[in-house]
Amino acid sequence: MKNTIREGSRFATVVMYSIAALIVVITLYPMYYVLILSLSEPRYAMTMQVYTVPKGFDLGAYQLLAINRDVWRAFGNTIIYAAATTCLMLLTSFLGAFPLTFKSLKGRKYLNTYLLITMFFSGGLIPSFLLIMRLGMYDSPLALIIPACFSVWNIILVKAYLSTVPETLREAAKIDGANVYQIFARIYLPLSTPILAVVAVYTVVGVWNSWFSAMVYLPSLDWQPLQIYLRRMLVESSPPQAVMTAEAVKEMVERKLAYAQLKYAMIIFSSLPVLFTYPFFQRYFMKGIMLGSLKE
């Protein structure tokens, strides 16, 4: 009697696809909701009486963003921070993880323990602020780049991935006369594209969405990133608590109408780069996560 493979239940398939579609809608609708609010007329954006399609299609907010020099300056600052921090993060993560894959490394166990301790315990905000001040990096782009270019979590992630590379490759390279630097550059580095892409995605998203460090260390507007500009826009659009005259109330209402649409357009504008970046790293992202989690 031949064994046959039975296909899954059609009802179960429909249920699974329905659940997946529901999850997609729940995940994407908030972003879509912000998008249609940014494309609606200010009075509709302010009352948020838009649910499916824009009401009174209006691109005024995006036109204001396009001619706003402060927005583009903040956008350029964020690109600088993301690019510099990502490059340095890849460098420190790989250089920190590669020596730890050598079982013959003296003090390897203690180094791993030291790294784990620093990952779970930190000095806190005040010691960090004092350190930035003493190093002369306050109100400087380096205050956002240098502290963020090292991550113990990324070192452990890269180390776990490098541990999956067979040691026979390293031994074969040694037999052929390769030194440590050649093994690093010609064997481990080419095989580490997936995990480096994972670290790059983590870093870019983290830096792009970061605003607290900039608020603490960058009082000057010249070097503030895009997220600080967005936060300032949202805070400035909040209604004041003091008693105002009729003219002041009218001016506040007009300003709030403009900000109601502008802040949603700003959210879309600041989110698009990350949304467009992720698809290019998706295949490396999935592969790096799976392989890096199989072996320590």
Which DSSP string corresponds to 101-124? G-TT-TTHHHHHHHHHHHHH----
pLDDT value of position 118: 83
Residue 156 lies in a domain: yes
Residue from 112, 131, 95 nearest 213 by CA: 131
Indicate the DSSP class of residue 219.
-
The enclosing domain of 94 has a CATH number of 1.10.3720.10
Proportion of the chain above pLDDT 90, given as a percent: 15
Whether residues 194 and 215 share a domain: the answer is yes
Whether residues 188 and 51 share a domain: the answer is no
Name the range with the highest mean pLDDT among 140-149, 159-168, 170-179, 271-280.
140-149
pLDDT value of position 249: 47
Q: What are the C-alpha distances in Å from 91 to residues 141, 155, 157, 200?
A: 19, 10, 14, 11
Q: What are the C-alpha distances in Å from 96 to residues 13, 105, 159?
A: 46, 13, 8
Residue 64 lies in a domain: no
Full residue range of the structural domain in which residue 35 is found = 1-58
Whether residues 26 and 3 share a domain: the answer is yes
Number of structural domains (the chain) is 2
Give tens-digit pLDDT for 84-138: 999 999 999 999 898 888 888 888 888 888 888 888 887 788 888 999 999 989 9
Whether residues 121 and 93 share a domain: the answer is yes
Distance CA 204, CA 273 (A): 10
Whether residue 81 has pLDDT greater than 90: yes
Q: Which two tokens stand for residue 247?
A: 């003219």
Residue 48 lies in a domain: yes
Whether residues 140 and 236 share a domain: the answer is yes
Give tens-digit pLDDT for 4-43: 545 567 888 888 999 999 999 998 898 898 888 888 887 7
Which are the contacts of 274, defined by CB distance < 8 A and separation ≥ 6?
204, 205, 208, 209
Model confidence band, residue 237 (pLDDT cutoffs 50, 70, 90): low
Whether residues 48 and 109 share a domain: the answer is no
Q: What are the C-alpha distances in Å from 135 to residues 78, 129, 131, 225, 231?
A: 22, 10, 6, 21, 28
Whether residues 50 and 191 share a domain: the answer is no
- Kindly state the average pLDDT of the residues 186-195: 86
Whether residues 39 and 13 share a domain: the answer is yes
Model confidence band, residue 53 (pLDDT cutoffs 50, 70, 90): confident
Which are the contacts of 24, defined by CB distance < 8 A and separation ≥ 6?
none
Which DSSP string corresponds to 4-39? -PPPPPHHHHHHHHHHHHHHHHHHHHHHHHHHHHHH
CB of 253 within 8 A of CB of 264? Answer: no
Residue 63 lies in a domain: no
Whether residues 27 and 77 share a domain: the answer is no
The residue to which tokens 């400035």 are assigned: 236
